[in-house]
Amino acid sequence: MRFLRTCLISVSLLLNALLTPADAQSLLPQSVGEKARFTAVIEMPKGYMSGICVLLCDGDLIKGSMFNDFGITFMDFTFNQRKDKVKLLSVQKMMDKWYIRKILRRDLRLLFHAMREGKGEYRDEKYKMLFRFTQLTEDELNIKDDDAS
């Protein structure tokens, strides 16, 4: 009887563990020095920008750089997770206007909130912008080191 009860409790715990949805895994790098790489697309009403975004965890700070496929930087930024604040360190001249910076700061912050919940997408309904970050896999990044300079 005691054995049967132990078995039933074990099965019930196992089922509970299997059926409870796991917490969505954050897309942001978690530990100090960890990096995450994404293909990044920002769609706007009059065009879009695409490229690659690299994020680095530096304690409370997430440092990031987004550049186009040719390697030309769109922006460098930091996201202070404790203060919940995005700081733009450099922005490509074409986009370097106070009103664009304001939108970017806000939208990147909200994108990072979504990424914390495992979602790589944020849609800004007011300005009709879509931010879509797709994590690059190890296979995609497996380019031989001797190729690089």
Given the rule CB under 8 A, which residues bind another protein? Answer: 35, 37, 39, 41, 48, 50, 52, 54, 56, 63-65, 67-73, 76, 89-90, 92-94, 136, 140-141, 143, 147-149
The nearest distance, CB 125 to another protein, in angstroms, is: 21
Which of residues 4 and 94 has its CB atom nearest to another protein in the complex?
94
Shortest separation between residue 1's beta carbon and another protein, angstroms? 59
Q: Note whether 105 and 83 are within 8 A (CB).
A: no
The set of long-range contacts for 77-80, using a CB threshold of 8 Å and a minimum separation of 24, is 77/108, 79/108, 79/109, 79/112
Q: How far apart are CA 31 and CA 59, in angstroms?
A: 7
Q: How far is the CB of 103 from another protein (least distance, A)?
A: 19
